[in-house]
Amino acid sequence: MKLPRNALIWCVLIVCLTLLIFTYLTRTRLCEVRLRDGNREVIAVLAYESNGK
């Protein structure tokens, strides 16, 4: 079964939006990931800067 190109684009868009919404609902910040294991904690933060252009 082969999907038309338009339907494939919509499927990918729906999956991406679902992942973004799920991430937004389960995490306080989208640009931060925290992993805890016992007494260790690893934090990965995405830092970005807008230059206004």
Residues 1-53 pLDDT 10s = 676 788 889 999 999 999 888 877 877 776 788 889 999 999 888 877 767 66
Q: What is the C-alpha to C-alpha distance for residues 32 and 46, in angstroms, rounded to an integer?
A: 6
Q: What's phi and psi for 47, nearest 5 deg? A: -105, 130
pTM of the model: 0.49
Domain boundaries, the chain: 5-45
